[in-house]
Amino acid sequence: MKGPEILEEHSDHLKSYMGACFPGERAVFRGHDLHADLKDMDWIELYVFGITGRRFTTQQQRLLHAIWVYTSYPDARIWNNRVAGLAGSTRSTGSLGIAAALAVSEASIYGGGIYMPSIKFLKRTRKALDKGAELSDCVQDELKTRRGIAGYGRPLTSRDERISPIMALAATLGLDDGPHVRLAFAVDELLLAGRWRLRMNYGAVAAALCADLGLSTREYYLFMFPAFLAGMPPCFIESAQRPEGTLFPLSCAHILYEGVSKREWQRQ
Amino acid sequence: MSNDSKSEQIRTRIWLEEPEPDNPFATRAAYCHGYDVYGAMLGQARWVEMLYLLFRGEVPTSAQAELLEAVAVVLANPGPRDPSVHAAMCGGVGGSTAAACLIAALAVGAGQLSGGREVFLVMEAWNSCGTDLDAWQRRLATPPDDTVSIWPMPEHLPGFDPHGVSTTTPVQQTLSHLACVSVESRLIWLEMNRASLEAVAGRPLAMSCVAATAFCDLGFTPEQGEMFYLLLRLPGAAAHALEQRQYGHKKFPFFKVELENDPAMEDR
């Protein structure tokens, strides 16, 4: 079916297997009664169930929780958090500030822009290795075609303080030795030996752990969306409690003008 | 040109501000690419001239200003059927904040179907193909790989209406008018070669393609064109959001749902 026919087919109704609410009666979530079948679900369990339609073990859920917890930094200097903080400072609403901060988290050098390419690289490379490819060739190809490897390298510093604790937890849960995790560390060793100055960051580790839990590329991307969320409300609250306009106020001297000299206005 | 006594500074080639003598945080004069905004431009410059100056660093010619103004009129209101305006109305009808309505319009209007990303992709195609019909035909036949992008894989050729049957009257009217106004070549070439491109694409030209082509003729980069497109479509979203707020939710469609896996039905 093509053209307007397909639009006509979908007009005026929602056909869904994801769910619906029946106001005053009940709500259905992926084929289950939310207030009966799923009423005891932990929130993150429900969130991941909503994304994948699958259930995860207690150990797996602990790891998923920790992946978010270990990257929740209430530091209003960080660019995405700063948006939440600035919203507090300008007396905007918390929802607007935090929603915008989450949207800003989908950046190309950190956060959302890393999730997809990172897990795609690991899945693609693992498949290639299974077919007999050499890891060094895969890495070289990636560096050549993408000019970098998502999940390796970090904007402000090369060391990533989140890797050690998440791997320690994964080890206690018996989830630290999956094929994607082993691959992620092997790539790190290769890059280190080759002196590429691209140390593995949390993005690669989180992607590897989630790939080993069976998350698809899109599932991982959506799972990671609120990863920074817990650090944002504190940034909003603190700046909202201070005198208005006092988060990083910029005087005229804070602006370094590098443009053309003053000139008379005239139309071309 | 600027007092750089602060260790933390924002660098800019766009904007110079000079402080009032009694307050370094208050502006005495502001210069946009060298022009005194409040002292010289105010009362003299048109809105579109200011926009063009901000992005391009120079005052537009009268032909460029006329073209940009025409584009702004065309894009000002995509209309209440458009998904971005629909999203803004969802904010309005529920009494969401003004910013939330615009954020909704921006988010939904950012994508690859009639959105900012589609304009970006069309402008990249222009940069790659220019006014070479063979190059366009090759590109339409084999779109570039974008597998590591955060954006979903394109499901239709950017710039063409996947649900269209024939070129709509407004698209034809807009292309015809803009081609007359523009002093550059792309809009004129597009009007001359529209039928050939549509034959290759198998779909009619969309307004996003006309807008993207106009932005190319104005000398914008794909990034600038994407931003302009997002900005210029907001007025209609805002107006419709406010209107639906007045109408109220009882007069706004809620649609019916057909649940494909309703547990209540399975129990019966």
Mean pLDDT of A131-138: 96
B265 touches chain A (CB under 8 A): no
Q: What pLDDT digit, counting tens, does each position of A225-260 carry?
A: 999 999 999 999 999 999 999 999 999 999 999 999
Please tell me which residue of chain A has the smallest CA distance to B46: A267
Q: What pLDDT digit, counting tens, does each position of B85-94 carry?
A: 999 999 999 9
The reply to whether A220 and A232 lie within a common domain is no
**Distance from the B27 Cα atom to the nearest Cα atom in chain A, whole angstroms:** 7
The reply to whether A169 and A194 lie within a common domain is yes
Q: What pLDDT digit, counting tens, does each position of B14-39 carry?
A: 999 999 999 999 999 999 999 999 99
CA atoms within 13 A on the CB side of B44: 13
Residues 66-95 on B with a CB inside 8 Å of A are none
Cβ separation A99–B103 shorter than 8 A:
yes
In the block, residue with structure tokens 């419709």: B240
Domain span holding position A91:
70-105+226-243
The reply to whether A216 and A146 lie within a common domain is yes
Q: How far apart are CA A169 and CA A205, in angstroms?
A: 13
Q: Identify all chain A residues contacting B157, using CB atoms and an 8 Å cutoff.
A: none
Considering the domain boundaries, does residue A146 fall inside one? Answer: yes
Question: For position A151, which CATH number holds?
Answer: 1.10.230.10
The reply to whether A118 and A218 lie within a common domain is yes
The reply to whether A152 and A140 lie within a common domain is yes
Q: Identify all chain A residues contacting B10, using CB atoms and an 8 Å cutoff.
A: 250, 254-256
Number of domains within chain A? 2
Q: How confident is the model at residue A145 (pLDDT cuts 50, 70, 90)?
A: confident
Q: Which helix (H) or strand (E) holds B127?
A: helix B116-129
The reply to whether A204 and A185 lie within a common domain is yes
Please, what is the end-to-end C-alpha distance for chain B in angstroms? Answer: 79
Q: How far apart are CA B131 and CA A84, in angstroms?
A: 45
Q: Residue A115: pLDDT above 50?
A: yes
Compute how many other C-beta atoms are within 10 angstroms of the C-beta atom of residue A78.
Answer: 20
Residues of chain B with pLDDT under 50: 1-3
The reply to whether A101 and A123 lie within a common domain is no
- Closest Cα partner for A143 from A78, A221, A195? A195
Considering the domain boundaries, does residue A44 fall inside one? Answer: no
Considering the domain boundaries, does residue A262 fall inside one? Answer: no
Considering the domain boundaries, does residue A232 fall inside one? Answer: yes
Predicted local confidence at residue A2, as pLDDT:
73
Considering the domain boundaries, does residue A9 fall inside one? Answer: no
The reply to whether A131 and A192 lie within a common domain is yes
The reply to whether A175 and A206 lie within a common domain is yes
B10 touches chain A (CB under 8 A): yes
- Closest in B33, B99, B165 to A259, CB measured: B33
The reply to whether A116 and A138 lie within a common domain is yes
Q: How far apart are CA A117 and CA A146, in angstroms?
A: 10
Pairing of strands B256-259, A13-16: parallel
Q: How far apart are CA A263 and CA A252, in angstroms?
A: 20
The reply to whether A82 and A176 lie within a common domain is no
Q: Which two tokens stand for residue A226?
A: 């609120």
Q: How far apart are CA B10 and CA B195, in angstroms?
A: 48
Predicted local confidence at residue B47, as pLDDT:
96
DSSP structural state of residue B155: S
